[in-house]
Structure 1
Amino acid sequence: MVNKNKSPIPTNESERLLELESYNIVDSLPEDEYDDIVLISSHICNTPIAIVALIDETRKWHKSKVGINKESVPRDIAICSHTILNDEILVVNDTHLNEKFCNIGMVTKAPFVRFYAGVPLINTSGFALGTLCVLDTKPNQLNDFQINSLKALARQVITLLELRRNLAQLEKQKHELFALSQTDDLSNLFNRRVLSRELSKELKRSVRYGGNFALMMLDLDYFKILNDKYGHAYGDKAIQKIGKLLKEKSRDTDCCIRYGGDEFIILMPNTNAEQAIYVSERIRQSIDKSGGALDTLSASIGIVIVQQFDVSEKSILALADDCVYLAKEQGRNQIIHQFI
């Protein structure tokens, strides 16, 4: 990586920055746990300034600080940029007597640092993410107890960072598992267990705010014949295409569900009969005109428009099923609707 700053760049800088990014912590809000660590560091080391600093591509960003107001400083004026080059604590008792740091920005300008001690924050993968550092405006030095205490507190910062990342990963996995528990693998639509929850929710919403809603039930015509003739792999491909088609032809507010086998349901919130029939007809025509895996298929569709809300979920589904049965009895590839 080309060094555009005056500060030195670690040899593993690209990987280090990716590792830092994985914590999603830079520019996050203050947290008491980090504030406690800088306060304790300041007291133990008897310095007016203490900082938990993270070094990104251009800045030394202060996750927590005491004795200084700046949220960040340019990386090229920070002594911490040198600290992350090594595994050990960096102590500068008097910056004015140090050729490397006597002209650095934080020394020649506010806060006019004369003393610096920083421990690199090295994570479990071996990357130095930043520092826990203490600063003074006059020359100073640390005894063994203070040095060991600062190192111990730096390890606590790493523990907090790892906990943050692990919790974020667990939360992500929880959301992924929740999504999987609601999704039909083959069609990529919601599965049957979502139906009861969403239908119950829609009934309650309609009672409270008024307005009709509709439930469309779709049964593929001749699907068993297709399966028997071409095999289950071909039938699976047809189910996948139906799932994609239903998502494309329904509305963003509709809830598309694979009810089971070759049956599908679309729950349509705040929808009247005309709107429900329009969406259903668009779906029916799309299936009828499809080629490939859907070439021999059509759809019998039943729609229930719910106008009264003291009905049960079971009665709505039963009426939709009756409509589908009637559509098949009358020749298939058509739509029957009823009000309830």
Structure 2
Amino acid sequence: MNIQKPTNEVQRLERLTDYQILDTSADKHFDDLAFLASYICQTPAAMISLIDSDRQWTKSSIGYPPLVLRRDVSFCAHTILEPELLVVEDAFLDSRFADNPLVLEKPHVRFYAGVPVLSYDGLALGSLCVLDRQPRQLSVEQLKALKALAHQVEDQMELRRDILQLEKAAREQKIAQELIHRDRERFKEILETSRDGILVEEEECVIFMNTAYAKLFGCRGPAELIGLHISELAAPEDLDRLLDYGRKRSRGEHAPNLYEFKIKRRDNGVLVELEASVSDFFQGERHYIITFVRDITERKKNSRERERLITELKDALANIKTLSGLLPICSSCKKIRDDTGYWNQLEIYIEKHSEADFTHGICPDCARKLYPEDFENS
């Protein structure tokens, strides 16, 4: 069966991944909402499902065991295409589902009603649905209740997503606090065993840097860089942007936590491309910016090389010349007319439009005509 997909499928799948909910264990909060949907609609089954790239994955199921279905047979894959809800009162009478194996075989679905479950920015990630093995209809009040429960599913997903983000932020904050508060030896041990470069700045001044970061600059150790203004660490083309990020953070305004920038090695002047992850730490009125960096020079170089090769291949394919079609040729001198209307010698035209090279000789017919005596004596 063909799978009809939303026009925003790429963004939808990216957002689904952001929620980190696929293939997670059962959750009572979602089970309660599925139960309420089944109870209110008086159906034997209800599900909360999410639509991945090629499957329907069930987060909660009442009346059926949790299912993982191919997307091409999924009712819910149709629900995410609808603006509000999808109701199939009798699947036997609906051409979209009459020959569906879920209808003809177990679990023998005859009735289906589903409401899209949306992300915070309106992308349909899955559905809350109720099912029955018998045809049926839902009242207007039941449909309204089903929509309301779908909103509760969305709120539960947002709450779960917020908790995950808070846990991640707490882990990063804990690392930041340890960097500031641990005793010097333990502090040094943590930082020096990190493969990533770590820098701590306060008021645009470097107050700490680990060895891994100093090596990126081609320095023998952090002492050469501690105390410098942050502007001395970035390549000129990135300087204004990085200063702007830091000043926004100091004012409590939004600034990216992840970004890329370049530095120039002090030993040989070579540019190094870095990926940065930034955290803030406040101690009273003091504001520290802690930056974790990783060298992505080779990765970026490989990416650019791939792009160059792709461009060269496209150009090469576009410039391949093939002789085909009708070629106007003079019946007397045998010159060929090119696309611009000029008449060219045959060998010139062929060399221009192919990869062939020419050598010169004389055929027997021409030899007999031009040198009859030599030809007869040979």
**Could you tell me the TM-score, scaled by structure 1's length?**
0.56
Matches within 5 A, 1:77-226: 77-183=73-179, 191=180, 193-195=181-183, 198=186
* 1:37-80 per-position Cα deviation (integer Å, ceiling 9, x unaligned): 11111111111110000000111111000111143111111111
Q: Percent identity?
A: 38
Code of the aligned partner of 1:127: L
* 1:205-240 per-position Cα deviation (integer Å, ceiling 9, x unaligned): xxxxxxxxxxxxxxxxxxxxxxxxxxxx9x979965
How much does 1:7 deviate?
2.4
Correspondence for 1:8 among 4, 7, 11? 4
Whole-Å separation in 1 of the counterparts to 2:130 and 2:148: 14
8 Å CA contact 2:113–2:129 kept in 1: the answer is: yes
Per the alignment, residue 48 of structure 1 pairs with 44
8 Å CA contact 2:59–2:66 kept in 1: the answer is: no
Query: Which secondary structure state, in structure 2, belongs to the residue aligned with residue 159 of structure 1?
Result: helix
Per the alignment, residue 17 of structure 1 pairs with 13
8 Å CA contact 2:57–2:69 kept in 1: the answer is: yes
- Asked if residue 73 in structure 1 is aligned to residue 73 in structure 2, the reply is no
* Aligned Cα root-mean-square deviation (Å): 3.4
Of structures 1 and 2, the one with the larger relative CO (CA 8 A, separation 6+) is 1
8 Å CA contact 1:78–1:105 kept in 2: the answer is: no
Per the alignment, residue 313 of structure 2 pairs with none
Whole-Å separation in 2 of the counterparts to 1:82 and 1:8: 8
Code of the aligned partner of 2:91: T
Whole-Å separation in 1 of the counterparts to 2:32 and 2:73: 26
Per the alignment, residue 36 of structure 1 pairs with 32
8 Å CA contact 1:59–1:75 kept in 2: the answer is: yes
Code of the aligned partner of 2:12: R
Structure (1 or 2) with the larger CA radius of gyration: 2
Whole-Å separation in 1 of the counterparts to 2:159 and 2:208: 45
Flag structure 2 segments of 5+ consecutive residues without an equivalent: 188-203, 216-221, 228-265, 269-378
Code of the aligned partner of 2:125: L
Query: Which secondary structure state, in structure 1, belongs to the residue aligned with residue 172 of structure 2?
Result: helix
Per the alignment, residue 279 of structure 1 pairs with none
1:7–1:244 Cα change, 3 Å = same
* 1:10-63 per-position Cα deviation (integer Å, ceiling 9, x unaligned): 111011000001000011000000000111111111111100000001111110
1:179–1:154 Cα change, 3 Å = same
Code of the aligned partner of 2:85: I
8 Å CA contact 2:60–2:66 kept in 1: the answer is: no
* Bigger mean CA deviation after superposition, 138-147 or 171-180: 171-180
Whole-Å separation in 1 of the counterparts to 2:45 and 2:3: 22
**Could you tell me the TM-score, scaled by structure 2's length?**
0.50
Flag structure 1 segments of 5+ consecutive residues without an equivalent: 184-190, 200-232, 246-256, 263-290, 294-340
